[in-house]
Structure 1
């Protein structure tokens, strides 16, 4: 079972890996750059060597890089669109230097221009930036559907993938809070939700899990994460989720509102409830 949390790399990748080990994790997620801005730290080759050593010694699974929230690949505003294109391309180049082959991003907001327009804008950047030679799998994140978000349905995500030339490099990061808020009932109807995902997108494209409880009710279209077992999904449903055979061996990342001690407790709880 590969499980970890979101960790800061402000003190370096090796420091984040050490923190992961301290909380019982064997993977972690990190922002590629300032999540509310655009600046990225220089990559330190010595730091990366230390990271690789820690990962090898502790049998780490795949790491997950997360794009900043400032990226909006669906925007009609050219300066916003150009920034998204620049940062996306730069992130993919930087990830070739890091032992991380999963890159997750929020598809974007069409801001009133319509879903089809937004999907065309998103696929436009993906086709311009992805060369087919990358070692990184690009992941679309499932969204809750607040405002004009794209990606609240499996169909919308599939539409993006179908427009990408090198679609073999496209995958999905499934967020439990988001899909529950979007109207996919993983509490009472998990088998059917995953069957629907498989039929529309293909379960083979599911490459990472954001395991989060939700502060909001089912189908609320609100994106408010809660600690594991303290929200509307509940511990039982999340344990059933991670133990589902179609979720086996997929990296699980926590994005719950926690400090390190809280993540450690959640990881211990989930590991003790894991049946594989």
Structure 2
């Protein structure tokens, strides 16, 4: 079964987002926990959460993905920024722990001149204070394109964070197809090689979700500009290969393609379902 869905706004409530996803034949969805720029999140309405849980159970939605706000930077050289990032992260985990099956994806951060090693140490230090044994949510490090001083544009940096996390069963990776291609991993002509390398460095058992995006600028560009499926440098054929790959096909896929409305996601989901091979 292809588990695929779009990125949707939760401004009208979680249950309404679940219903909206079903109208376009999605069986999962991603959402920002709050504004991408940070700030306060709406108080959780537990009746709304219970309705979402029922929708998920009745419609075979196995998991949903929460995306952290972009302002979080646990690797910042600014103590104030790290403190604010930590508090946002902590609040999100507390809220997600009261919601049905979910994961929490975040951008590892930027070392802003301190060096990769220092940034990795700061990220893992925060994660060790944030992660607890009884949390329900799996935290995902997202693969990055390599802009500026971003951490996580290669698998070795992600693994360096993971191996410093003490409760490591609560952490995994979200692979963004645009980001890894822009970072220099050739998922178009050498998908097997990229996955073999991921397995050697991190372990494919850590791969929990995929952001399915085409790329405007392409291989080694380090630009991080998403394109609609089939309209970028990755191309439709390579995207179809990804959703059908024996090592990836059972993961949840999340579309972050640039659409003005939900109809664009609907067309992409239709396209991908038509090209998904049932085994």
Post-superposition CA distance 1:244-264 (Å, at most 9, x none): 000021100000001200000
Residue 41 (structure 2) aligns with: 40
Within-5 A mapping of 1:168-187: 168-187=169-188
Residue 272 (structure 1) aligns with: 274
The runs of 5 or more residues in structure 2 that have no matched partner are: none
Give how far 1:118 is off. Answer: 0.4
Post-superposition CA distance 1:35-60 (Å, at most 9, x none): 11221111101111211121122111
Residue 260 (structure 1) aligns with: 262
The runs of 5 or more residues in structure 1 that have no matched partner are: none
> Once superposed, which parts of structure 1, at least 4 consecutive aligned residues long, lie more than 6 Å away?
none
Give how far 1:69 is off. Answer: 0.3
Residue 137 (structure 2) aligns with: 136
Residue 72 (structure 2) aligns with: 71
Question: For residues 94 and 100 of structure 1, what CA distance do their matches in structure 2 show?
Answer: 12
Question: For residues 92 and 223 of structure 2, what CA distance do their matches in structure 1 show?
Answer: 28
Question: For residues 40 and 250 of structure 2, what CA distance do their matches in structure 1 show?
Answer: 33
Question: For residues 171 and 131 of structure 1, what CA distance do their matches in structure 2 show?
Answer: 15
Question: 3-state SS of the aligned residue for 1:69?
Answer: coil
Q: Does 1:218 align with 2:219?
A: yes
Question: For residues 112 and 217 of structure 2, what CA distance do their matches in structure 1 show?
Answer: 23
Question: For residues 38 and 158 of structure 2, what CA distance do their matches in structure 1 show?
Answer: 25
Residue 163 (structure 1) aligns with: 164
Question: For residues 126 and 276 of structure 2, what CA distance do their matches in structure 1 show?
Answer: 39
Q: Relative to structure 2, which stretch is displaced further, 262-271 or 241-250?
A: 241-250
Give how far 1:61 is off. Answer: 2.0
Q: Is the 8 A contact 1:38 1:70 kept in 2?
A: no
Question: For residues 88 and 36 of structure 1, what CA distance do their matches in structure 2 show?
Answer: 13
RMSD: 0.8
Question: For residues 245 and 39 of structure 1, what CA distance do their matches in structure 2 show?
Answer: 41
Q: Relative to structure 2, which stretch is displaced further, 136-145 or 38-47?
A: 38-47
Question: For residues 134 and 13 of structure 1, what CA distance do their matches in structure 2 show?
Answer: 20
Residue 15 (structure 1) aligns with: 16
Give the structure-1-normalised TM-score: 0.99
Q: Is the 8 A contact 2:5 2:28 kept in 1?
A: yes
Give how far 1:201 is off. Answer: 0.3
Question: For residues 260 and 35 of structure 1, what CA distance do their matches in structure 2 show?
Answer: 19
Give how far 1:34 is off. Answer: 1.2
Q: Is the 8 A contact 2:183 2:222 kept in 1?
A: yes
Residue 250 (structure 1) aligns with: 251
How many residues align? The count is 276
Q: Is the 8 A contact 1:242 1:248 kept in 2?
A: yes
Residue 51 (structure 2) aligns with: 50
Post-superposition CA distance 1:120-145 (Å, at most 9, x none): 11001101111222111110000000
Question: For residues 53 and 123 of structure 1, what CA distance do their matches in structure 2 show?
Answer: 35
Question: For residues 53 and 103 of structure 1, what CA distance do their matches in structure 2 show?
Answer: 20
Post-superposition CA distance 1:123-176 (Å, at most 9, x none): 011011112221111100000000100000000000000011111111000000
